[in-house]
Each structure stands twice: as structure tokens, then as C-alpha cells.
Structure 1
Amino acid sequence: MFEKFSWTGLIGGLTFFFYGIQALKNALQLASSNRVRWVIEKMGRSGIRAFVLGTIVTVLLQSSSATTVLLITLAGAKLLELDQAFGIILGADVGTTFIAILFSVKKIAEYSLVIIAIGFILNVAAKRGKIKHYGSILLGFGIIFFGMHLISMSTAPLKDSVGVVSVFRYVSNHPLASFIISTLFTAVIHASAATIGMVISLSFAGLITFEAALPIVLGANVGTCVTAILGSIGTGTEGKRIAIAHTLVKLVGAIVALPFLGEIARSVSSVASIFSGSGLDVTESGKIAASHLLFNVAVAAVFMPLKKPFVALVKKLYPEPRRDEEKPFAPRYLDERFLSTPLLAFAQARRELIRVAGYALDLFISSLEMFGDSEDVPLCVQEIKKKDDKIDVLNRAIRFYLSRLSQEELTPEQAGEQFVLINIAGNIEEIGDIVSRDLASLAMDKWEQGIHFSEEGWKEITDFHSLVVDGFNLTISALASPHPDIVREIQNHQQKVYLLEQEYKKTHIKRIHSGMSETMRSSAIHWDVLNNLRRVHGQLTYIAKTFMESPFLKGNQ
């Protein structure tokens, strides 16, 4: 294609290559992420099962960094611990080599324009759904391979350049420098597949040998850990431990391998020659991809049996820190970095919803103090309103965060989940308003008029309040770990609340008929308190039912 080196060909090839990497990653995540988080939450276990799970998930997402950041997110939500995540991390490192193996097949690059055409047709022909996602995936693959083809063709003439040959000879003779440069480059671009893909493209052009590429492969494996480290900023202890474990595994593996690069190269070449003798020609690019795979398989084979002592070491290196005084009025989990990946953004929003639901529960529990016979009722009401203001801040932040997700980049299921989570934030805010506005107003009326509940009436209110608290706890459980059984339990609980409300209203009327003075004076307030407590439980039932019927969860049950 090019008789001499072409800067435009190289720059154009790099542009297509990096754009294709991003497009493919986005397409794969859109097509598969609906189930990925749920699968990891439910099936993430120690041992071989977790390793296989990590491999499969990363083949789907085509980014070990994305898998690791997802694990960090789940750990921050208290849904996963390091000992569960460790096997998934090792599997993710193996799964990410799949695309490098595809990169090494030069024939695919030669048909890249055909792949682009097929992907484009599928993408345009289908308005939504799986076919459109498959078209986007093929389009991303095609653009990557076309970029690689341009890179190899535009740089092929450089193999006759004395200066370029000298540069690559220096690279071959200084593996440590190659390793460091590769680590830094991969850390900047956040994609080990991109680094290895570029090296494979240069091998197609005959500019780099397998031996010279080995330290670059090791550097790419270490450099990709930076994404996980950045993703752990602002998360809890377990999230940071997962990032540390991922980095240590890669770093130790690379440090051990660096002194033996010559032996590794000879071993891989010997195996390749055996295949060549059987009629299967293993190219330099094939050896590069194979070394990437073998490194990660070897690391997994060494560290899997050492899981328990290694996890213990990481926990010693990063112990549970002392907790500073929290600031509940500020969002804790709504990280803007995750907005480009809806899967992770929804996970962060759910964490914040669970947090704000906890504050709403605390608010509701405190509401009973407003109806006591203490002289501190105005102070209690003031504290209730302050707590509700903080809940309002968090709910507004959640809704704003979710609204920033682009509708065009969401699947129908993700758009449905976005709608559900925004609605739930509104329901929690409504609970806060019922307590701080309606119940607080009733409490002030009772205090200002000097009204006292009868002993029987006060017991009814406290018992009814306790029943709603139970419903609150069930709803938070449904948000943290969705299951249809919890929703059924909440719906049954709603029936209990309704029946108990009717029973207490009947006994209240009987007390009025019997002429109890306290009951007669407190009748209107007593009645309205029960009504508002029931309204709170109604919101809880609606939250659980809406969440469980969201398209995202219905697709994963």
C-alpha cells in the first residue's frame, strides 16, 4: 500500500485503532453489562468458579480494568470482599488476552473493511436491540483491525531505515527501559490491549521481534493497574484492597519474569517451532499474543493456591482505617468518572440510594420523639427538619447524577432502570416530607394545645410505628439485595399495616364512645398520625415493588 513511510498513514491508523478500541469496549459493555453486575454479585465465589467467572466477564467487557473497577464498586457497596474478588481478578487478567489473540491474526486485518461494512449495515438496519449491539461490536472490531492494517502498512518501509533499526535494536538490548516506557504509556491510555495491539501491528511490519516485544507486554500488564487504582479513590477499604491486590499480582509477576526474558522467549519459540513442524505457522505476532496469555495464566496458577496468605498480606498492608466524622449532607458515591459507563454509574447511584434510605429510616425512627410529653418538642421538630434537609440534598444529587446519563447510550433496560432509580429517589424524599412536614405539624399542634394521648392510644401509635420501621428495614434489604421473596414479604406487611390501622381506629372510636377525655381531645391528631404512618409504609411498598419490576432486574431473575 505504501512504498515509503507515511506519517499520514501512521497517524490515521493510530486514530482508527484507538477509536475502534473505545467503540468496541462501549458496544460490548452495552450488550452485556445488564447481567454482568448481577452475575458477579450472585456468583462471585472463591476458587476456580470465581476464576472462570472473571475470565468470561472480561471476554464480554474486553477490559480487565472495567471488571476490576466493577469489583471495586461492588466492594464499596458491601456486596463483595477481597477474598471473593481475588479469583475474579485473576480470571479477568486471562480474559483480557482474548482480544490480543485476535489482533495477532493478520488475515482478519486484511478483511477489516468487510467487517466494517457488515457492522455498519447491522447497526443502521436495526433501530434498537441485540442486532444493533452486534453491529456496533463488529464495527468496533473492523475499525481496530483497519487501524492496525494502516499502521503496519505505513511503517513497513521503516524496516530498511538504519535509524529505526537502531532504535529497535536499543529496545531489544534494554528490556528494563522498554518495560518502564510500556508501563507509563499504558497507564496514560488506560488500555493494555491498545499497547499490545500496537506492538503486534509493528510486528506485522517487521519492525519489532518477539524478543523485543516481551518486556513491552509485561509493562502493558502492569500499566493497566493504574485504572483500578484511580477507580478505588473515594471508595471504602475493600475497594482499595482489591486495587492493591490487582497491582501487586501484576507487579510481582513482572518483576519475577524480567530476569528470565531470554529463557521465556526461547521456550515460547520452541513451542512455536513444534506447531510449525505440524503445519501451523506461528508468526511473531502470534508469539507476542501467546506470551501475553501465558504470563497471565502463569500468574493465576501461582497466586490461586496462595489466595489466603496473599489476601491476609493485603489486609495487613492496608488495614481498616480509623473513621473520621462523616458529612452525611454530601453525596459519597456519585463519582463523575463512571458516567461514561452506565453499568458503573447505576451501581454508584444504588449505593447512594441505600445510604439515603438509611438516613430516611433514622429520620422516621426519630419522629416518634416529637409526640412525647417532653417540653423539647420544638427542638425535636427542628432536628427533624435538619435531617430532612440533608436527605433532600442527597436525593437531588442522585436525580441530577442519573439525569446526566445520555439516553442515546442507554439500552432500553438501562433507560428503564434510570427511570426507576429517579422515581425511588423521589419516593424517599416524599417519606422525608411526610415526617418533616405533616407529622412535624401534628406534633407542634399537639404540643401547642397541650394535648396528651391516652395510655392506650400512645401504645397503639408506638406499636404501629414499630411495624412501619420493620417495613423500612425490609425495603432497604430489597434495595441492597433484590429478591422477589422480599417484595412479597413487604406486600404482606402492607396488608398487616392496613389491618392494624383499621383495628386501632375502631378501638379509638370505642374509647371516644366510652367518654375518655384524653381520647376525645387527641382524636383528630391521633387519627392523622396513624394516616401519615400508613402513608410512609405505602411509599416503602411502592419503592420495593417498583425496584423489583424494573427491566434491569426482571431480566436477571
Structure 2
Amino acid sequence: MSITDIGMLFSFIGGLGLFLYGMNVMADGLQKSAGNKMKQLLGFLTNNRFLAVLVGTAITGIIQSSSATTVMVVGFVNAGIMNLTQAVGVIMGANIGTTVTAWIVSMSEWGAFFKPEFLAPLVVGIGSFIILFSKSDKKKIIGEIAVGFGILFIGLSMMSDSITPYKDAPIFSQAFAVLGSNPILALLAGAVVTGIIQSSSASVGILQTLAMNGIVNWKSAIFITLGQNIGTCVTALLSSAGAQKMAKRAAVIHLLFNTMGAIIFGIIMFIIFSFVPDFASSSINSVEISIFHTIFNVTNTIILFPFANQLVKLSGVIIKNSEVKEETAEKEEAITLRHLDERILESPSFAVENAILEVAHMGDIAVANTKLAFEAARENDINKVQTVFENEKTIDNLQKLITEYLVKINNLSLTEKQHMIINNLFYMANDIERVGDHAENIAELAEFKCKNNIVFSNSAQDEIMQIMDIGLKSIQNAILSIKEENIEYVRKVVKYEDMVDNMEEELREKHIERLSNNLCTPESGIVFLDIISNLERISDHAYNIAGYVKDEME
């Protein structure tokens, strides 16, 4: 191999690297620009499979990777956010969405104006100026998308230029002649290459780059493309290795869907090529690859869409459910992350939205435990006291897990608004954990009441029920404000917090008066005052949480 050949190899590798990097930069920019749209897309994930297909198409179009979308689907299923019926639709849509990448790559053949060497430097220049000189975050995101788009084309151009001198080399014609004459081998080649680099976008881009130089025939290109659709399943399968059974089934559904489609189209195209051999051996260009890629994925979805339930059942046959494991999972659900999974980090916008859901989930547990602690204190119920202690361990564990996850999200490519949300979630998780601590304190006071047979007077019992009711409403509305992002809940929290503060002072004075008049014992007085003090602190933390939500809404 000569120095020139080595230089061309380096140029091809560099071009591929720039192509992938440009795709990544552009996808990051698109995700940032999508912002709250990601949350809306997540909201569409209902049992309506047609909507799920549209969501899968939209998500993949935004993040420019069907592999990333299906990995997220595995994460969503593993986290319990999505069921398998929804997953089928999103997976089908992801296959359609990935055709966007092929069309972007083929733009260089739409006309002279779209050729990479003509368009890319201008796009990178404009994008760079926007990033450097614009003060608007939205404009900077547009600049990122433009720079990524331009770098992608520069990489594509480098790959094409490095291959051009060798387009008449016998090795290419012989290789594609062999692949064209052996469809199984072509399928395997496409699957293996895609599986190794774990990017169907990259493998399709390489094939289209070769096609631009006129060295790929129709027969080999079609079967390689079908193989690439199978190879893209490798990423999701690897991702599901340590996941629950349902997540593994989602990855298997992806493999079944793409494999069945490849078999159906493989047979159809084999018959067509057998009857029209001249067509099979003729050269294919990148636009024609994009057209076939789109027709294949859309048609495959139309064919298999009615059989989604059967795909779910078939995945259950391949990955058998373990009843014991499912029971264990249900018992452990309270101490594990419900909405978060590392696979969801593939999309920062989704990761942020699901972090919000998880903090709200932690809040729900804290609210339920606070209510239980109140009941234990009023009813002198030692069993409820023990349950509060157990639940508090769950809350502490969730705070640790959520904090670790938030650190990972904070290191992703986020907008300033998303960084602010993540910082606020850190504080919210801490406030919720402190609410849990105060609930535990109240449970300890209830335990003291039980062991020492302390009973409040009727007036003290009525007073503590009133302040408990308002204190509980304050934290309930604070958690609702996280879920709904509704300013009305924030206003209610502010109102209840003021009421608790005023009542705490008033009840403290009344109870000291009762103590002075020997209407209650010193022990009951200490317990009473400590309970209302903890209640006041709970409402303070609720006020803090509502304040963070208000900041995000401004």
C-alpha cells in the first residue's frame, strides 16, 4: 500500500468521523430546539398505536438515530413509562424516522447547489457566526444545527473524494458482484457492518457514498440495506441485556419487526431481480437508495401494523416471563427509580422530563408517608409508626438515586433553561427528603405517645387535626405543582404556608395556656409542641418546592 493509498484511507476515516460528529451536533441542536415539544411527544404515548408510530417517527427525525430511539424505548419499558403495545408503535415509527438521515445524505445529488463542497462551508460559516456573536439562546441553537449540518456534508464530501480515485478498481466491482449474486451474504454484510459501528445512519451513509461514485449495483444495495435494518437492532439488544423481561421483549419486537420486513422485501426483490437481470446489475445512486429505504420502512409498517399484538405475543414466547421475578419487581418498585433509566439519557430532553416525573414520584411517596405519620400521631397506632420508618428508608434511597441520575443529566448537552430545571430538581429532591425526615420525627413522637400512654385533650386533638389538614394540603399542592406546572397550585401552597405559620403561633400560645392551667400533662405538651413545629417545617419545604416551580414558569 502506497503513501497515497494510506492518505486516502485516513481521509475516508476522517470523513466518516466528521459525518458522525456533524450528525451528533445537529441532533443535539434539534433536541434543544424541540424543548417542551419532547414532553408533548411523551404525552402522546397512549395506547393508540397510530399516535405511537407518529411519535416514533418524530423523535427519530429529531435525534437522527433509530438506534437511539429504540434504546430509549427499552429504557421507557424498563422504567414502566411505556407498555409493549406503545413500544411497538414507537419502534415502527423509528424505522420511518431514520429515513430522514438517508435523504439528508442524498441531498448532494439533488442538484449542483446542494453539493457538499458548495454548500457546507457557507453553512458552517453562518452557523459559527451565529454561535459566536448572538446573545439569544434560541439563535445559538440554530447556529449549532447549521454547524452540524455543514460538518456532516464536509465529512460526506471527504468520504466521497477518498473513494473517487478507486471507483474503477476491480475490488469494488468484484465485491459488489459477489454480494449481488448472494443475497444472504449481502444481508449479513449490511447487518454485521451496522452492528459493529452501531449506527444505521453511518452504514447507510457509507453505502450512499459508494453509490455516489457509481460502484454499487441495485441488487447488492437493496440486500445490504435490508441487512442494515436488521443490524440496527443490535444496539437495542445489547442495551436490554441488563434490563427487565419487558424491556428485553421490546428489543426482541424491534428485531422481529425488522427481520420480518427484510424477509418479505427480500423475497419480493429477489423475484423482481430474477426476471429483470439488467435492472439488478445496473448502478444505483444515493437518491434511489433513499427512495427504496423510505418505501421499505413505510410499507413494512403498513403491512405489520395490524399484527402489533401478535408481535407482542411472539416476543413473550421468545422471552418467557418469570412470575417470581415479576412479584419481586412489584415489591421492589417502591425503592427503585420508576421513571429513570440510563438508556433514556440518549435524549437529554426526555431525560429532563422524566427526572421531573421521578422527583414527583418521590414526592408522592413523601406525601403518603406524611399522611400516615399524622394518622399514627392522632390514633396512637404503633403499626403505622413502623410503616412510616420503613417508607422513610425508601425516600432516602430515592433521593440518593435521583441525585446520582441528575448529575449524569447535568453533564449532557442541555439548554440554560434545562440546566436551571435540573438544579431546581436537586433542591426539590432535598426538600422532599426533609419532608420525609419531619414525617419520621412525627412518627417518633407518635411512638413516644404510644409507649407512654399519652392522650391529647379534646381541644388539643381538634387543633392538631386542623393544622395537620392544612399542612398536608400544602405539601400535596407543592407536588401537584411539579407535575402540572400550574401556577394555581403554587398560589395554594403560599396560602397554606401562611395559614400553618399563623396557626403554629396561635396553637403554641393556646397549649402553653393549657399547661399553665394544668389541663394537660407536661409530656403531652412537649409532644404537641414538637408535632406542630415539625408541621410548620413541612409547610416551609412545600413553600420552597413551589418557589422552584414558579421560577421555572417565569
The alpha-carbon distance between structure 1 residues 509 and 42, as it changes in their structure 2 partners (threshold 3 A), is farther
Read off the aligned partner of 2:299 and give its amino acid letter: A
Contact 1:94/1:296 (<8 A) preserved:
yes
Deviation at 1:392, TM superposition (A): 3.0
- Aligned: 1:454 with 2:457: yes
Partner of 1:353: 359
Query: Structure 2: which 5+ residue stretches go unaligned?
Result: 109-113
Deviation at 1:97, TM superposition (A): 0.6
Deviation at 1:527, TM superposition (A): 3.1
Q: How does 1:267-286 map to 2 (within 5 A)?
A: 284-286=285-287
Deviation at 1:506, TM superposition (A): 8.2
Contact 1:474/1:490 (<8 A) preserved:
yes
Q: How does 1:376-415 map to 2 (within 5 A)?
A: 380=385, 387-405=391-409, 409-415=413-419
Read off the aligned partner of 2:288 and give its amino acid letter: K
The alpha-carbon distance between structure 1 residues 461 and 223, as it changes in their structure 2 partners (threshold 3 A), is farther
Partner of 1:151: 159
The alpha-carbon distance between structure 1 residues 264 and 530, as it changes in their structure 2 partners (threshold 3 A), is farther
Deviation at 1:423, TM superposition (A): 1.0
Q: How does 1:453-532 map to 2 (within 5 A)?
A: 453-458=456-461, 460-462=463-465, 464-465=467-468, 468-469=471-472, 472-480=475-483, 482-484=485-487, 486-487=489-490, 515=517, 517-518=519-520, 522-532=524-534
- Aligned: 1:122 with 2:130: yes
The alpha-carbon distance between structure 1 residues 80 and 375, as it changes in their structure 2 partners (threshold 3 A), is closer
Partner of 1:277: none
Read off the aligned partner of 2:130 and give its amino acid letter: L
Q: Deviations over 1:500-519 (max 9, x none)?
A: 76886687578668x56336
53-62 or 417-426, which deviates more: 53-62
The alpha-carbon distance between structure 1 residues 368 and 130, as it changes in their structure 2 partners (threshold 3 A), is closer
Q: Deviations over 1:271-319 (max 9, x none)?
A: 9xxxxxxxxxx96211111111001110121233444555565567665
Distance 1:236 1:450 in 2: 48
Distance 2:541 2:275 in 1: 66
- Aligned: 1:537 with 2:544: no
Decide which of 258, 262, 268 is 1:254's aligned counterpart.
Answer: 262
494-503 or 113-122, which deviates more: 494-503
Contact 1:46/1:85 (<8 A) preserved:
no
Contact 1:77/1:351 (<8 A) preserved:
no
Contact 1:44/1:53 (<8 A) preserved:
no
What SS does the corresponding residue of 1:550 show, helix, strand or coil? Answer: helix
What SS does the corresponding residue of 1:207 show, helix, strand or coil? Answer: coil
Distance 1:93 1:421 in 2: 34
Contact 1:156/1:206 (<8 A) preserved:
no
The alpha-carbon distance between structure 1 residues 75 and 33, as it changes in their structure 2 partners (threshold 3 A), is farther
Partner of 2:227: 219
Distance 1:23 1:269 in 2: 42
Q: Deviations over 1:504-545 (max 9, x none)?
A: 6687578668x5633675234313312322431342343245
Decide which of 236, 239, 258 is 1:228's aligned counterpart.
Answer: 236
Distance 2:502 2:76 in 1: 39
Deviation at 1:128, TM superposition (A): 5.3
Deviation at 1:100, TM superposition (A): 0.5
Contact 1:467/1:497 (<8 A) preserved:
yes
Read off the aligned partner of 1:250 and give its amino acid letter: N
Contact 1:28/1:62 (<8 A) preserved:
no
Deviation at 1:460, TM superposition (A): 4.4
Partner of 1:275: none
Q: How does 1:132-281 map to 2 (within 5 A)?
A: 132-232=140-240, 239-263=247-271
Partner of 1:63: 65
Aligned residues: 538
211-220 or 83-92, which deviates more: 83-92
Contact 1:478/1:544 (<8 A) preserved:
yes
Partner of 1:109: 116
Read off the aligned partner of 1:292 and give its amino acid letter: H
Deviation at 1:365, TM superposition (A): 4.0
Distance 1:208 1:261 in 2: 16
Distance 1:432 1:215 in 2: 59
Deviation at 1:424, TM superposition (A): 0.6
What SS does the corresponding residue of 1:250 show, helix, strand or coil? Answer: helix
Partner of 1:546: 548
Deviation at 1:470, TM superposition (A): 5.5
Partner of 1:432: 436
Decide which of 415, 422, 440 is 1:418's aligned counterpart.
Answer: 422
Deviation at 1:455, TM superposition (A): 4.2
Distance 1:145 1:74 in 2: 33
Contact 2:71/2:236 (<8 A) preserved:
yes
Distance 2:551 2:543 in 1: 12
What SS does the corresponding residue of 1:160 show, helix, strand or coil? Answer: coil
Partner of 1:295: 296
The alpha-carbon distance between structure 1 residues 400 and 308, as it changes in their structure 2 partners (threshold 3 A), is closer
**Cα-Cα RMSD:** 4.1
20-29 or 540-549, which deviates more: 540-549
Distance 2:10 2:541 in 1: 61
